Structure formats: structure tokens, C-alpha cells
Amino acid sequence: MAEEKQPKETNPHLRGMKEGKRAGHKKQEADRPKDPRRALCIFITILLLLAGLAVLIVWSIYRPHKPRFTVVGAAVNHLNTSSPPYLSTSMQFTIVTRNPNRRVSIMYDKLTAYVSYRNQAITPPMVLPPFYHEKKSTVVMYPVLVGEGVPVSVEVSDGLVMDEAYGVVGLRVVLLGRLRWKGGAIKTGRYGVYVKCDILVGLKKGFVGQVPLLGSPQCQVDI
């Protein structure tokens, strides 16, 4: 069966009118103003992508590592467990912190410390002064942590009496605070820092002064 062909437009005037209409539609589309909101969204998207790329590059160059903390000394100035359920104590610790970063310094805006025994605080949190930790440097702190009439559980008071009789007491020194990283002119936002130092001290009831550290591994640091 022969394929039926569409008749060609033979009238040149009609053909010219159709072509003119097509050209007019194209011109109207070209002259139509573009949506400014769409252009703004594209600009913001590109800007965010560039900013994210810049942050990624800077972070890959500096890559800050967590600081390291170690308790290297302890002294018990006072420890009274004779009035349960209240406990009074005064302890001093020597804490060494190391910034292992070559390009990044650390700014401690806020830092508090307290002592706990069997997961219960035996001193209230004490505010430590803020400090600036230079690159590849070591800072030594000597916080004195004091608690007067701190209410504790029977487990804590009885546990301390038994541990003192045995001569070994397990303590936990806790540091809580906020820090910022600084690399060149770039400063990050504030990050929470939690430092947990589990130590064993040789302590007999009634002893006052510097006590031996029987176990003091590197502290656990969470940021």
C-alpha cells in the first residue's frame, strides 16, 4: 500500500506567516526576564559547595589530633570517712597534658575538674583557669580538689574504709570543658572535651601527703 504523503504548503504567504510566528515565539522567550530566585539559589549552592571544599582542604592539611592527659602525681591532704553519709577530702594532682599537633594549637575556654570514687563524685567540680596550648608543647596543671561534707552512698563510705585498710584506693580524676582548635588564622567552633583518668594510689588510713601511684595509664579523652 502506498504511503500517504502530507501535502506541502504551496502558498508562500501562509508559509511566511507560520515562520514569522515561530520566530516571534522564540524572541518572546529570549526577551522574557529570568527568575531571580532561581539565580540566587544557584549562586548560594555554588557558594556553599566552595566553602565546604575549602573547609575540607584545610581540615585535611591540619587534621587536629586529640590532646593527651596523664596523672603523674597525687597527694592526699585530708580524707575523712568517719561521719557517714558525709565525706570530706582535699587532694592535689599533677596532670600533664600534651598537644601532639604540629600545626594546630588548642584554646581551652572552660575547664572543670573533680574526683570520683566508684562512679560517684567525692568533690564538687572546681573551675580551672582557661589556657592556651601551643603546638607540640606540654602543660602541667596542679589542681587542688576539695570537698567538705559531700553526701555519699553507703557503698562509697564503706568502700573507702575497706580500701584504706587494704592500702590501695582506686580514684578517677575527671576534666570537663570546652576547647577550640586554632590553625594559623583559622579558629574552629567550641567542642566539648571529657577527660577520664583512672588511677590507683597507695593510701593507708590516716596518711597525709604525697602518695605513690600504683597505676596511672594515659587518660581517656573524648571530644
pLDDT at residue 31, as a whole number: 53
Q: How far apart are CA 73 and CA 37, in angstroms?
A: 64
C-alpha dist (Å) from residue 74 to 90, 95, 216: 11, 9, 10
10-residue stretch averages of pLDDT, the chain, 223 residues long: 52 55 54 68 85 67 84 94 88 96 92 96 95 94 95 92 94 96 84 96 92 90 94
Sign of CA dihedral 108, 114, 117, 118: negative
- Give dist(CA 123, CA 79) in Å, integer: 11
Which amino acid appears at position 196 of this protein? K
Q: Give the per-residue pLDDT at 106.
A: 94
Backbone angles phi, psi at 135, to 5 degrees: -65, 140
| Residue (of 127, 129, 122) closest to 91 by Cα position | 122
Give the pLDDT confidence score for residue 129 in this predicted structure: 94
Give the model confidence (pLDDT) of 146-158 as tens digits. Answer: 999 999 999 999 9
Q: Which grid cell sits at 53?
A: 571544599
Q: What is the pLDDT of residues 148-201, one digit of tens each?
A: 999 999 999 999 999 999 999 999 999 999 999 988 777 888 999 999 999 999
- pLDDT of 121 reads 96
Rounded Cα–Cα distance for residues 147 and 86 (Å): 10
- Interior CA angle at 117 toward 115 and 120, to 5°? 85
Closest CA to 173 of 107, 123, 110: 123
Q: Which helix (H) or strand (E) holds 151?
A: strand 144-151
Give how far the C-alpha of residue 83 lies from the chain's centroid of Cα atoms, to the nearest Å.
40
Nearest of 65, 66, 175 to residue 114 by alpha carbon: 175
According to DSSP, the residues that pair with 141 across neighbouring strands are 95
* Residue 214, SS3 per DSSP: strand
